[in-house]
Chains A and B, each alone.
Chain A
Amino acid sequence: MPKKVVSGNYAAAYAAKHARVEVVAAYPITPQTSIIEKIAEFIANGEAEIQYVPVESEHSAMAACIGASAAGARAFTATSAQGLALMHEMLHWASGARLPIVMVDVNRAMAPPWSVWDDQTDSLAQRDTGWMQFYAENNQEVYDGVLMAFKVAEHRKVNLPVMVIESAFILSHTYDIVDMPPQEEIDGFLPPREPLYTLTDFDNPTAVGALATPADYYEFRYKIAMAMEEAKKVIREVGKEFGERFGRDYSQMIELYKADDADFIFMGMGSLMGTVKEAVDVLRKEGYKVGAAKVRWFRPFPREELYELAKNVEGIAVLDRNFSFGQEGILFNEAKGVLYNTDAKPIMKNYIVGLGGRDLTVSDIRAIARNMKEIIERGRLDREVEWYHLKR
C-alpha cells in the first residue's frame, strides 16, 4: 500500500479527494487553511473533480455545504475555532435536515486572548448540534477518520453530519507517515452517496426545513436521537469493515491500551493520547499497573464501552484539553454522568491539561500517575478538578 509523509492537514485533503467529494465550500483560517489550499491545488492540477465554492465566511461555507448536500452531493469543509463558532447556527441546520456533511475541525483555542494552538473547547462547544465527533490521535487517523466519517454519515439509518477533529499544529502541521490505500479499494469501501432525499428531484418537488408546530417538532428530535443511537452500531460495523479491508481496526469507539489488568487508566481524546501511550510504557517499566482509554467518538458517546471499562478499574484520570467554565472538564463531566446510574464507581479525577497548546509531556503524565496512585491508596480524592500545569 502506498505510504506518504504528509501533514495532518494534507492527510485530510487527500482523504477528501479519495472520498470523491463533489463540493467543497470553505473559508481560510489558521491552522486549517492548508487543507483547503491542498484541495484547491488538486482541482487546479486536474487531479480531482470537485466544485469549489469560495465563500465570504464560515457561516456561508456551511450554508453552501448544506445546499450542496440537500441537492444530493457529497460535501466537505474544514475550519477551526472562531470559524467553527461562526458556523454554529448552520451546524444545527445540517443535522436537523439530516445531511451527511463531513467537516474537519482543527482544534484551536478560542479567543481572547488570541491563540492558534491546540485546545478542544471549540469542537466540544458544538457537542449539542447533532453532529457526530471523531477525535484523531495521529495523521493516519485523520485520513482514516474522514473516509469512515462519510460512510457512517451517509448510512441509510444515520444521515447525520460528522466532524473529524485533529489538533492544531501537533497534527495539522506535523509530517508523519500515512498509509493511503489505492483509489479502487477506497471506492469499494465508500461507494457513491445514495441520498435520503434530493432537492433536485424536479418531478417530486419538496421543501426542506418546513415549519413544524409543537404537534410535530418533538417527533423529529426523537428521530435524530434514535439515528445517533443507531450510529453507534454503524460506527462499530464500519470500523470493523475498515479494519478488514485496510488492516486498521476501528470497531471500538474507545480504544484501550494496556487496560486489561490496569489498576487505573488515563482517559482522553485526540493527539495527547499518543504521548499518554508512550508514558504508559514508561510507567509500566516503573511498576505502575496503568493503561489508557482513548475516546475516539465523543458523539455519539460510547456509554456501554465506558461502563465495561469502568467496572474493572479502581481509578480513571480524565485528561481534558478543554474546560466548561462554571463546571469542569467536558469529557470528565460526561464520563461521570454515564456511570452515575451504574454499579461501576471508580475514583475519578479531572486533570485540565494542554489548554491553548501547552505541551503535555511524558514526565507530566508520570507526575499525574504518582498523584492518582496516592489517591487510590488513600481511597479518596484530594480535589476533583486539578489545573495541572498552573504556575503557582
Chain B
Amino acid sequence: MNALNTLFGEKKVKAKKLVFNSVDEYPEVPLTLGTTLINFTGDWRTFIPVVDEAKCVKCYICWKFCPEPSIYIKGDGYVAIDYDYCKGCGICANECPTKAITMVREEK
C-alpha cells in the first residue's frame, strides 16, 4: 500500500524548482508557479516529534492537524513523520490523545 499523503513518494523525488529566465518561459496564466516540495523546512526545527507506536491507536488526529502537512500514514497503518518538512511546531504532540508523540530537543 502506498502512502496516503500524496505530497510524498515519487513526487518528492521528482520535484524541481521552476525558474523562468525570460518572459517567454512564463506560463500565460499565474497557475501553480512551483512546489513547496523542494522547500525542505525541516532545518527550521529545534524540537523533533517522535512517535511511539506502542501507544499509537491509529486515530490519525495528528495527521489531520499537521499544518505542513508532513505526517503520513504508512502501509501498516501507523503514522510517520517526514522530517524533511516537519518544522517541529509540536501541534501533533499536543493533540495526540494517547501521548504517543513526544517532542525532544534535536541534536544538530
A interacts with B: yes
B interface, over-half SS: loop
Given A219-B23, A223-B23, check contact A212 B33 (CB 8 Å).
yes
Given A219-B20, A219-B23, A223-B23, check contact A212 B30 (CB 8 Å).
yes
User: Which residues from 184 to 198 on chain A have a C-beta closer than 8 Å to any C-beta of chain B?
Assistant: 196-197
Determine if A220 and B32 form an interchain contact, defined as CB atoms under 8 angstroms apart: no
User: Which residues from 21 to 40 on chain B have a C-beta closer than 8 Å to any C-beta of chain A?
Assistant: 23, 26, 28-33
Chain B residues with Cβ under 8 A from A197's Cβ? 29, 31
Is A159 at the interface (CB under 8 A from chain B)?
yes
A209 to B30: give the CA distance in the assembly, Å.
Answer: 6
Chain A residues with Cβ under 8 A from B33's Cβ? 210-212, 216
The total of chain A residues at the interface (CB under 8 A) is: 19
Q: Which residue of A lies closest to B25 (CB)?
A: A219
Chain A residues with Cβ under 8 A from B31's Cβ? 197, 206-208, 210
The total of chain B residues at the interface (CB under 8 A) is: 9
Q: Which residue of B lies closest to A156 (CB)?
A: B28
Q: How far is the CB of A66 from chain B (nearest CB, A)?
A: 13
Q: Which residue of A lies closest to B22 (CB)?
A: A219
Determine if B26 and A206 form an interchain contact, defined as CB atoms under 8 angstroms apart: no
Q: How far is the CB of A95 from chain B (nearest CB, A)?
A: 11
A97 to B27: give the CA distance in the assembly, Å.
Answer: 12
Chain A residues with Cβ under 8 A from B29's Cβ? 97-98, 159, 196-197, 208
A216 to B20: give the CA distance in the assembly, Å.
Answer: 8
Chain B residues with Cβ under 8 A from A96's Cβ? 30
Determine if A219 and B32 form an interchain contact, defined as CB atoms under 8 angstroms apart: no
Q: How far is the CB of A291 from chain B (nearest CB, A)?
A: 40
Q: How far is the CB of A98 from chain B (nearest CB, A)?
A: 5
Chain A residues with Cβ under 8 A from B28's Cβ? 98, 159, 196, 223, 227
Chain B residues with Cβ under 8 A from A223's Cβ? 23, 26, 28
Chain A residues with Cβ under 8 A from B26's Cβ? 216, 219-220, 223
Q: How far is the CB of B53 from chain A (nearest CB, A)?
A: 32
Chain B residues with Cβ under 8 A from A212's Cβ? 30, 33
A97 to B28: give the CA distance in the assembly, Å.
Answer: 9
Chain A residues with Cβ under 8 A from B30's Cβ? 96-97, 208-210, 212, 216, 220
User: Which residues from 156 to 185 on chain A have a C-beta closer than 8 Å to any C-beta of chain B?
Assistant: 159
Chain A residues with Cβ under 8 A from B32's Cβ? 206-207, 210
Is A222 at the interface (CB under 8 A from chain B)?
yes
Q: How far is the CB of B77 from chain A (nearest CB, A)?
A: 26
Q: How far is the CB of A389 from chain B (nearest CB, A)?
A: 46
Chain B residues with Cβ under 8 A from A209's Cβ? 30
Given contacts A208-B29, A223-B26, 5 further A-B contacts (CB under 8 A): A210-B32, A216-B33, A220-B26, A222-B23, A223-B28
Residues of chain B whose beta carbon lies under 8 Å from any beta carbon of chain A: 20, 23, 26, 28-33
Nearest 8 A/B pairs, CB to CB:
A206-B32, A206-B31, A98-B29, A210-B33, A207-B32, A219-B23, A219-B26, A220-B30
16 sample A-B contacts, Cβ–Cβ < 8 Å, listed by A number: A98-B28, A159-B29, A197-B29, A197-B31, A206-B32, A207-B32, A208-B30, A210-B30, A210-B32, A212-B33, A216-B26, A219-B20, A219-B23, A223-B26, A223-B28, A227-B28
